[in-house]
Structure 1
Amino acid sequence: MPGSGSSEEQVSGAKVIVQALKTQNVEYMFGVVGIPVTEIALAAQELGIRYIGMRNEQAIDIYAEELGNNVRPSVTLLGDANAVSKQLLEQFDKTPWQFPTDSKWWKTLREKMKSNEAVSKELASKRSLPMNYYTVFYHVQEQLPRDCFIVSEGANTMDIGRTVLQNYLPRHRLDAGSFGTMGVGLGFAIAAAVVAKDRSPGKRVVCVEGDSAFGFSGMEVETICRYNLPIILLVINNNGIYQGFDADTWEKMLNFQEAVTAAPPMGLLPNSHYEQVMTAFGGKGYFVKTPEELQNSLRQTLEDASKPCLINIMIEPQSTRKAQDFHWLTRSNIPGQHGCPDSNDFGNLSPTLLPIHRIPADFHQQCPSSLSSASHRNQDMEAG
């Protein structure tokens, strides 16, 4: 302490924190710098922990109350992923078990997979322009390295990408998950690329983003370029959230009224050149509209790993996924309150059928709690 006459070296709180992390074998840290994180980041570098300074502050957590809210599970697990996985593996070591491959469940699943594959191939074979999701993913899948990391984020982009873009190695897929936590995609890609660059030189990270999802953390492109990470960003651009509008339709709407009144909230500025965000920071960027342009740009990018790249892929604004048997996150198990109908009465309505601004004005008086529930659910789905 000052004035105590002690010759002992003073240790800052930041260094104590980092020493504790070092003891736990932490090798990498990611975070937005600022007081007091800056001191911790500097201490981390001093003690040999690699610190990656990010641009977007994001937190993810799953609350116990949410488990089973969408589809009722038989068993729920809540805990640290590493600890829970170890406990499960330890139990399986004691009692080996495998789900019977000749079971009815497996048979039904295989039949469904075969049916989905046939539908996806038919959609991918369409040669019309602008392209649809399936056409894009078909051409991407053709060229993807088998050992690449695949990160996906978005609504239709992530859902369709999960079924078409194949992984061949464990722990090589990262995405926003069933709850559609937007904004995590580029962070996941950066983390995967930092580790890959250290431990598996030459391995690529392919981050597939919807245009809306890209907007949540697009400034992380600067982070990607600052550390020159081996990331290929594919932005699937349909000019909107779920669905958008072509440039002509957008212009006509603005001729009718100003954007804040005429433009639906799901619409984004048509033909936005997101690839210029990448070139602004020194990376490579491509703006593509045809399968041939997509194939050429992806091939060039895979051949030259000297810089990160963003390929901005224009698709049909009204393109969507194949018909679904059920809607995503719309089967709430929370019962109705105050005499209102059960929330499941609204569960089968998609956000395009029940946008918030179309709910009758007197609905508040009729059923205030359900309106609030429907509003939150629509906002959640639009964010996804």
Structure 2
Amino acid sequence: MKLNGSEIVIECLKEQGVDTVFGYPGGTILNVYDALYKHGSEINHILTSHEQGAAHAADGYARATGKVGVCMATSGPGATNLVTGIATAYMDSIPMVAITANVAVPLLGRDSFQEIDITGVTMPITKHNYIVKDITKLADTIREAFRIAQEGRPGPVLVDITKDVTAAETEYVKEEPIPVERSTQYIKEKDLEQAIELINESEKPFVFVGGGAVISGASKELMEFVKKIDAPVADSLMGKGAFDGTDELYMGMLGMHGTKASNLGVTKCDLLITVGSRFSDRVIGNASRFAKNAKILQIDVDPAEINKNIQVDCSIIGDLKEVLTRLNQRIEKHEHKEWIKEIETISEEHPLKYNEEGLTGPYVIEQIYKVTEGNAIITTDVGQHQMWAAQYYRYKDPRTFLSSGGLGTMGYGVGAAIGAKVGRPDKVVLNIAGDGCFRMNMNEIATAARYNIPIIQVVINNHVLGMVRQWQTLFYGKRYSQTILNDGVDFVKVAEALGAEGIRVTKKEEVAPAVEKAIALGKPVVLDCVIDCDDKVFPMVPAGAPIEDTFDQDDLNKEA
């Protein structure tokens, strides 16, 4: 049948099983929105307050569901407002398709009103991107975009469509999506054999879990693998929930704000098995000193990540779920009782701890964990509150901790929480943010209120840019340059003005009742939790130092 370009866009979205789109209309994309209006009962559209919110919502939807997130924007500033959200998804390997419109083909390259070369702008932050200037290529381009977004190492793909293409007509034939196969073509028998040999020889193995374990859906296989080789486990920010955070072998996060048990465990081990991680600088610290006593086995779907940041002794390239399945079939059961005891002793001697006098960020997180029984989806912004949410909430399942890891995007959380709640309406969804982060995209609370999306926004309000202030305190002689936010902003009033419920919390005994009330209300709620401006995240490793140089407040007190 003959359809115009805008109708083809909608039909292709339906082909791909898309049920929700996050976006903001404008002049060049009006034809697409007109077609969307006619299909409102088939595709739900969430009008965000800002295009960046739409990109973060699509990202949160994708992380929470495992499906492709979709966002839309018009040309010019609409498209460029998506850029930070696209980059956030790119850095964390999140499948997303961003659809933008551009000026008509005859107007391209003429500095036309709201014209921007968005494919040029986003080339470094997408897996692939397109500008469609021929109506006959539109359907196949959108189909290919969804395939690329999902295959191998996932990521965002942008499709820019000129306005005349959205109006032109051509024949459309419905196609069923081709299933995306797991990447197995690079899994080599010799690599599997070498990995098994290293595992058999190891007396002190340690498993480090990254975001690839979440993406591949390998939690079951990972648990079987860990139990077979009898090794302690650490994770990255992106890997949280892939391995059960309540399991006795779990030792906590690794890296700059990782636990001493994990950081020292990796330093002491003789074999580090890294699954689905790219060895971020925040994880490895000083690369020349990282896992200095160990051989390193890296399993990753992306060949480009092998030997990029850390030289490894053995690697297996392929989908993690498939690789672990093959290893589990061939690995014999091991026991490392003395090694496990050694790491457990470090964990017992150096537990996570915080000042228990007065209201603190860790206390708020612990109370949220208790009230939700560890079953909520937690999104975060970036900073101290992000680290506390990673340290003090125990993630039992994958896709329950959503955070900007690679790009470190302040303002990510509210949009991501909206996307997560839309994608997983059965789950309680809370966004943990500092007051600095919340200011950046708090306008999206209006979006949640408009659609009555019952997210809970928890503001860890210390009236400063907490993580930056922490660095200024420790490394910059307490010169607090532009990090104090002690002004007249009232987040409870802001929440009410945006159509949500606002609750202020200033005492420890108020936290749990406030969280319980927020869940029971069934509407968007902002909890303004006021803490001290000098609370810090510990443990900590100075930038560029080896991870065994981790310190906490007790260590600072001893030096003083």
The partner residue of 2:507 within 290, 311, 314 is: 290
- Deviation for aligned residue 1:162: 0.6
Measured against aligned partners, the alpha-carbon deviations of 1:75-104 in whole angstroms (never above 9, x if no partner) come to 56549xxxxx99332333344367967388
User: 1:92 corresponds to which residue?
Assistant: 324
Amino acid at match of 1:264: S
The 5 A counterparts of 1:263-342 are 264-270=481-487, 272-305=489-522, 307-324=523-540, 326-327=541-542, 330-331=543-544
The 5 A counterparts of 1:231-250 are 231-242=455-466
User: 1:136 corresponds to which residue?
Assistant: 364
The partner residue of 1:31 within 23, 31, 35 is: 23
- Deviation for aligned residue 1:293: 2.5
User: 1:21 corresponds to which residue?
Assistant: 13
Name the CA distance, whole Å, in 2 between partners of 1:112 and 1:228: 47
- Deviation for aligned residue 1:292: 2.2
The 5 A counterparts of 1:47-126 are 47=39, 48-56=42-50, 57=52, 58-59=85-86, 60=88, 61-62=90-91, 70=281, 71=284, 75=298, 77-78=301-302, 87-96=319-328, 102=336, 110-111=344-345, 113-115=347-349, 118-120=351-353, 123=354, 126=356
The partner residue of 2:387 within 159, 175, 185 is: 159
Measured against aligned partners, the alpha-carbon deviations of 1:54-89 in whole angstroms (never above 9, x if no partner) come to 22323222379xx6562459656549xxxxx99332
Measured against aligned partners, the alpha-carbon deviations of 1:163-198 in whole angstroms (never above 9, x if no partner) come to 10122333222112254222221121011111223x
Change in 2 beyond 3 A, CA 1:119/1:94: closer
Measured against aligned partners, the alpha-carbon deviations of 1:295-344 in whole angstroms (never above 9, x if no partner) come to 33222222222x210001100011111241x13xx43xxxxxxxxxxxx8
Is contact 1:244–1:317 with CA below 8 Å preserved after alignment? no
Measured against aligned partners, the alpha-carbon deviations of 1:242-267 in whole angstroms (never above 9, x if no partner) come to 2699xxxxxxxxxxxxxxxx972111
Name the CA distance, whole Å, in 1 between partners of 2:388 and 2:37: 40
Change in 2 beyond 3 A, CA 1:272/1:18: same
Is contact 1:221–1:277 with CA below 8 Å preserved after alignment? no
Amino acid at match of 1:138: E
Q: Which has the higher strand share?
A: 2
The TM-score normalised by the length of structure 1 is 0.65
The 5 A counterparts of 1:338-349 are none
Secondary structure in 2 aligned to 1:264? coil
Name the CA distance, whole Å, in 2 between partners of 1:283 and 1:95: 50
User: 1:169 corresponds to which residue?
Assistant: 397
The TM-score normalised by the length of structure 2 is 0.46
Is contact 2:301–2:318 with CA below 8 Å preserved after alignment? no
- Deviation for aligned residue 1:287: 1.6
Name the CA distance, whole Å, in 2 between partners of 1:178 and 1:161: 17
Amino acid at match of 1:50: N
Secondary structure in 2 aligned to 1:282? coil
Name the CA distance, whole Å, in 2 between partners of 1:270 and 1:244: 18
Aligned length: 291
Secondary structure in 2 aligned to 1:43? helix
Is contact 1:133–1:321 with CA below 8 Å preserved after alignment? no
Is contact 1:154–1:212 with CA below 8 Å preserved after alignment? no
Name the CA distance, whole Å, in 2 between partners of 1:112 and 1:184: 35
Name the CA distance, whole Å, in 2 between partners of 1:143 and 1:184: 24
Is contact 1:28–1:52 with CA below 8 Å preserved after alignment? yes
- Deviation for aligned residue 1:39: 3.6
Is contact 1:239–1:272 with CA below 8 Å preserved after alignment? no
Is contact 2:455–2:525 with CA below 8 Å preserved after alignment? yes
The 5 A counterparts of 1:246-257 are none
Change in 2 beyond 3 A, CA 1:101/1:132: farther
Amino acid at match of 2:357: R
- Deviation for aligned residue 1:269: 2.9
Is contact 2:380–2:412 with CA below 8 Å preserved after alignment? no
User: 1:369 corresponds to which residue?
Assistant: none
Is contact 2:49–2:443 with CA below 8 Å preserved after alignment? yes
Q: What RMSD, in angstroms, separates the aligned Cα atoms of the two structures?
A: 3.5
Is contact 2:378–2:432 with CA below 8 Å preserved after alignment? yes
The 5 A counterparts of 1:201-212 are 203-212=427-436
- Deviation for aligned residue 1:231: 0.7
Secondary structure in 2 aligned to 1:51? strand
Residues 88-97 or 182-191, more deviating: 88-97
